């Protein structure tokens, strides 16, 4: 059976098609101003790229902040449920998930059957999210995709002490003015995110194995900094950014 998952996030909209437990295809586009239109077009894109007609898809689940604007979905689940389902389908042993998305970060604990046992979310603050990285990338004039690789060269990460994105940005600007190396500043930024996410997760009590999902999971620097802070090995979801959409498609199959 073919099912689809659509995840409308704050920055990007994702779609995934799965068939009998196998991932057929995924697609990512920018959400932009209109979440409803983004949901439609990412769905149409993923169908076209996989040469599928709408009629082939039996069930659709939508998730993410824009989940309710996907009018053609059969059901909605929160992104927490979908990230849990996505991670569990990729690796049945996973017990904890850290999801760092565009506007929030979450830690999720699973039981042995892949059910969500508990979760935490950061609230109303961009620190520890993808948006924080975007702001810093702009200040440093570095492409965000290169952040991970650059930071791994750092021997001495800079100290970013401010938790507020706006203040941290001015801290970064003064570090640039002081002539600190770009790689050190970036590594410092990653440590700051890691500290934020780790302290949030610690309240919950993570158990291994831990998987990281969400767009920021693609940044190897953040993953490394988090592993250090948590003293745990972290498995990176191969579908980091589309993990929620994949989870939604899997949940659709069990409707």
Partner 1 sequence: MKELTQLKKVVSHPYAYIRKYKKQTGKKVVGYCCSYAPEEIIWAAGALPVRLFGTNENIHLADTHLQSYCCSLVRGILEEALDKRLDFVDGIIFPHTCDSFQRLSDIWRLNIPEQFHLDVVLPVKLDTPSAKKYMAAILEKCRKDLGKALGKDITQAMLARSVKTYNKIRSLAGKLYELRCANPQIISGTDFHAVIKAAMIMDRDQYLKILTQIVKQLQKAKPRKTRDEAKRLVLSGSVCTHPDIYGIIEDAGGVVVWDDLCTGYRYFEGQMNEKIAPLKAITARYLKRVICPAKHMELRGRGENLIRLVKQSKAQGVVFLLLKFCDPHAFDYPYLKEMLEAEKIPFMLLDMEAELPPVGQLQTRFETFIQIL
In this complex, which beta carbon is closest to partner 1, that of residue 80 or of residue 217? Answer: 80
**Are 210 and 113 contacting, i.e. CB atoms less than 8 angstroms apart?**
no
Provide DSSP, 72-92. Answer: T-SEE--HHHHHHHHHHHH-T
The only residue of 7, 19, 79, 171 in contact with partner 1, by rule CB under 8 A? 79
**Which neighbouring-strand residues pair with 96?**
109, 210
Those residues whose C-beta lies under 8 Å from the C-beta of residue 173, and which sit 6 or more positions away, are 139
Rounded Cα–Cα distance for residues 63 and 4 (Å): 11
Q: Is there binding between residue 162 and partner 1 (CB under 8 A)?
A: no
Q: Is there binding between residue 7 and partner 1 (CB under 8 A)?
A: no
Q: Is there binding between residue 94 and partner 1 (CB under 8 A)?
A: no
CA angle 175, 176, 177 (to 5 degrees): 90
The only residue of 54, 93, 115, 156 in contact with partner 1, by rule CB under 8 A? 115
Q: Is there binding between residue 132 and partner 1 (CB under 8 A)?
A: no
In this complex, which beta carbon is closest to partner 1, that of residue 119 or of residue 239? Answer: 119
Task: Give the range of 25-33, 115-123, 167-175, 226-234 binding partner 1 by CB under 8 A.
Answer: 115-123
Rounded Cα–Cα distance for residues 17 and 15 (Å): 7
**Are 26 and 239 contacting, i.e. CB atoms less than 8 angstroms apart?**
yes
Q: Is there binding between residue 200 and partner 1 (CB under 8 A)?
A: no
Q: Is there binding between residue 78 and partner 1 (CB under 8 A)?
A: yes
In this complex, which beta carbon is closest to partner 1, that of residue 75 or of residue 182? Answer: 75
Q: How far is CA 145 from CA 15, 58, 133, 137, 163, in A?
A: 21, 36, 10, 9, 23
**Which neighbouring-strand residues pair with 132?**
none
Rounded Cα–Cα distance for residues 24 and 4 (Å): 10
Q: Is there binding between residue 117 and partner 1 (CB under 8 A)?
A: yes
Question: Within 13 Å and on the Cβ side, how many CA atoms surround 185?
Answer: 22
Residues 95-114 contacting partner 1, CB under 8 A? 104
Residues 37-76 contacting partner 1, CB under 8 A? 65
- Cβ of residue 247: shortest distance to partner 1, in angstroms? 13
The only residue of 116, 142, 152, 163 in contact with partner 1, by rule CB under 8 A? 116
Task: Give the range of 48-56, 120-128, 213-221, 231-239 binding partner 1 by CB under 8 A.
Answer: 120-128
- Cβ of residue 155: shortest distance to partner 1, in angstroms? 37
**Token pair for residue 59?**
């069930």
Q: Is there binding between residue 80 and partner 1 (CB under 8 A)?
A: yes
Entry field: residues in the chain:
255
Q: Which residue has the tokens 């309240």?
A: 203
Q: Is there binding between residue 121 and partner 1 (CB under 8 A)?
A: yes
- Residues that bind partner 1 (rule: CB under 8 A) add up to a total of 14
- Binding site residues, partner 1, CB under 8 A: 65, 77-81, 104, 115-117, 119, 121, 123-124
């Amino acid at each position: 059976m073919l099912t689809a998952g659509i995840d409308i996030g704050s920055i990007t909209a994702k779609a995934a098609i799965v068939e009998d437990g196998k991932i057929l295809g995924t697609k990512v586009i920018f959400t932009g101003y209109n979440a409803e239109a983004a949901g439609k077009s990412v769905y149409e894109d993923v169908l076209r790229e996989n040469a599928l007609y709408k009629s082939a898809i039996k069930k659709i689940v939508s998730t993410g902040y824009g989940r309710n604007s996907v009018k053609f979905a059969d059901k909605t689940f929160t992104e927490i449920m979908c990230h849990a389902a996505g991670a569990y389908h990729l690796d049945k042993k996973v017990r904890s998930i850290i999801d760092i998305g565009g506007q929030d970060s979450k830690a999720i604990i699973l039981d042995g059957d892949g059910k969500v046992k508990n979760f935490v979310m950061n609230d109303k603050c961009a620190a520890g999210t993808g948006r924080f990285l975007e702001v810093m990338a702009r200040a440093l004039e570095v492409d965000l995709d290169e952040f991970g690789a650059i930071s791994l060269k750092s021997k001495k990460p800079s100290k970013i002490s401010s938790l507020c994105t706006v203040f941290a940005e001015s801290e970064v600007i003064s570090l640039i003015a002081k002539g600190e190396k770009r790689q050190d500043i970036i590594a410092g930024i990653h440590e700051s995110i890691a500290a934020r996410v780790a302290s949030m997760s610690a309240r919950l009590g993570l158990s291994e194995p831990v998987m990281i999902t969400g767009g920021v999971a693609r940044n190897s620097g953040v993953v490394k900094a988090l592993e250090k802070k948590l003293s745990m090995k972290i498995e990176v979801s191969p579908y980091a950014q589309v993990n929620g959409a994949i989870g939604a498609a899997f949940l659709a199959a069990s409707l």
